[in-house]
Structure 1
Amino acid sequence: MRKLFALATLLALTACASLAKAAFQSPIVTVKDVKVRSLGLQGATLDVHLDVQNPNEYRIDAEKVSYTFFVDSTRIVSGEVTQRLTMEEKGVISLTLPVSFDYTAVQTAMRYYLARGALDYRVEGMFTLVTPVGRLTRPYSGRGRVEGMP
């Protein structure tokens, strides 16, 4: 009888966790802006400004944000930020990702810029979230265009 009760309890807990994960809404990420922070002989650093909206009725913490930055369809750089972020319920936070890349990537980006007079970019990645239903990994992406260079 105890085994039957333990099995029923385990099934109920598993069902609750599955329902909670299904009810969880992923953060909504908007790429607000990309600015050139520095450009030099060794490479460049961009500040990728994101707005992250938590559509849930409870707080979410992110423990890691990964990113891949593309110019046109060419992958320029990938990385991650392990700074802990707190998103209050139904709140929006601003996040700046410092994206650094080497001289070869700068050359690639400059070729696109000189050919088109602008840089079309795409940023995509994953948020590793700590939620009331456990750790979840959710994707984000955004696109934009940089018209002028410093």
Structure 2
Amino acid sequence: MASSDEPEIVERGQKKDDKEEGEGGFIDKVKDFIHDIGEKIEETIGFGKPTADVSGIHIPKFNLEQADIVVDVLIKNPNPVPIPLIDINYLIESDGRKLVSGLIPDSGTIHARGEETIKIPVSLIFDDIKSTYSEIQPGSIIPYKIKVDLIVDVPVFGRITIPLEKTGEIPIPYKPDIDVEKINFDRFSFEETVAILHLKLENKNEFDLGLNSLDYEVWLGDQSIGGAELAKSTKIDKNAISYLELPVTFRPKDLGSALWDMIRGKGTGYSMKGHIDVDTPFGAMKLPISKEGGMTRLKKNKEDGGGGDDDDEEEVH
């Protein structure tokens, strides 16, 4: 074999080494690429769906006309980026009857790896409820279900809806009936007279009322004889009647003809107006009270020239 036919071992070896070096660089690049993709995949896997829960329900306003309800919703975002809360749909129903519904758009952003309490304000107008559903009676307690749909936009997952529900009870309040059963004049003189109003309060609600305070003003005819406040708190049981005695001190000589009509036995009209502050299982209420169109007549007793013990009592109609 001629020397020219011998294989070029060294030259081929050098080419082989060059190829290996080239392949090595390519493999390293592939490894780096795979590593980068792996990190991105790990980032992607790190995204998760947010969670939410109804953390509380408050009734900041509660009266005869409406109940304002605030629903606290706690939302947790496990993701490394903020997520927008696009819409909030809410519905309050009672035994399948819709009481109120609404939509709150563009409700803010939940911070990355954070949590937010979203407050959803809802108002229940009692006249609307009673006019829509005649079977719902004033004074009753009805069950309710609050349904909330949170619509959020999450990377990787896209737009998702988180449904929530919460149940409870809400009253349809009834104003307590008030009546003046009689008026006793504890002390009577032209300079100072003390009248005791005997009140009957009827609670027609299916829940107790804790009577904390009562302020009132009394009129004889067109003349105000003043008023006072309840000295101590009391409880009015559900569907029950309570009796109160309220004193009023006034100066008869300032009343004019109304007083003289009483003394002469002709009688005079009376009325009273005021407010009561009560506690209920659903919150505090300030309620108006009124009584108009009553009649009272003072019969003079013996020392005033009257006929006897029977004349000590005052008539109230």
Deviation at 1:124, TM superposition (A): 1.1
Partner of 1:132: 281
CA contact (8 A) 2:187 2:193 kept: yes
Deviation at 1:40, TM superposition (A): 2.5
User: Which sits farther off after the overlay, 59-68 or 139-148?
Assistant: 139-148
CA contact (8 A) 1:63 1:82 kept: no
What pairs with 1:1-80 in structure 2 (closer than 5 Å)? 1-2=75-76, 6-7=117-118, 10-11=119-120, 14-15=121-122, 20=170, 23-80=172-229
What does the per-residue CA deviation read over 1:40-98, in whole Å, with 9 as the maximum and x for residues that have no partner?
25311111111101111111111111110101122221221141010111110011111
Rate the CA distance shift 1:148–1:113 in 2: closer, same or farther, 3 A.
closer
Q: 1:117 aligns with which of 263, 266, 270?
A: 266
TM-score with structure 2 length normalisation?
0.41
Report the secondary structure of 1:6's partner residue.
strand
Letter in 2 for 1:99: V
**Which structure 2 segments of 5+ residues have no match?**
1-74, 77-109, 127-169, 301-317
Q: Runs ≥4 in structure 1, deviation > 6 angstroms?
A: 16-19
> For the residues of structure 2 that align with 1:112 and 1:59, how far apart are their CA atoms?
41
CA contact (8 A) 1:46 1:99 kept: yes
Partner of 2:295: 145
CA contact (8 A) 1:64 1:83 kept: yes
Rate the CA distance shift 1:16–1:32 in 2: closer, same or farther, 3 A.
same
Rate the CA distance shift 1:123–1:68 in 2: closer, same or farther, 3 A.
same
Rate the CA distance shift 1:68–1:129 in 2: closer, same or farther, 3 A.
same
Report the secondary structure of 1:113's partner residue.
helix
User: Which sits farther off after the overlay, 38-47 or 54-63?
Assistant: 38-47
Deviation at 1:106, TM superposition (A): 5.2
> For the residues of structure 1 that align with 2:122 and 2:231, how far apart are their CA atoms?
31
Considering Cα pairs closer than 8 Å and 6+ residues apart, tell me whether 1 or 2 has the greater RCO: 1
Partner of 2:306: none
TM-score with structure 1 length normalisation?
0.80
Rate the CA distance shift 1:95–1:75 in 2: closer, same or farther, 3 A.
same
Letter in 1 for 2:298: G
> For the residues of structure 2 that align with 1:6 and 1:18, how far apart are their CA atoms?
26
What does the per-residue CA deviation read over 1:87-127, in whole Å, with 9 as the maximum and x for residues that have no partner?
11111001111111135445564244368821211111111
CA contact (8 A) 2:265 2:297 kept: no
CA contact (8 A) 1:43 1:106 kept: no
Report the secondary structure of 1:64's partner residue.
strand
**Percentage identity across aligned positions?**
17
> For the residues of structure 2 that align with 1:149 and 1:88, how far apart are their CA atoms?
36
> For the residues of structure 1 that align with 2:296 and 2:285, how far apart are their CA atoms?
32
Rate the CA distance shift 1:48–1:17 in 2: closer, same or farther, 3 A.
same
**Which structure 1 segments of 5+ residues have no match?**
none
CA contact (8 A) 2:215 2:276 kept: yes
> For the residues of structure 1 that align with 2:279 and 2:223, how far apart are their CA atoms?
32
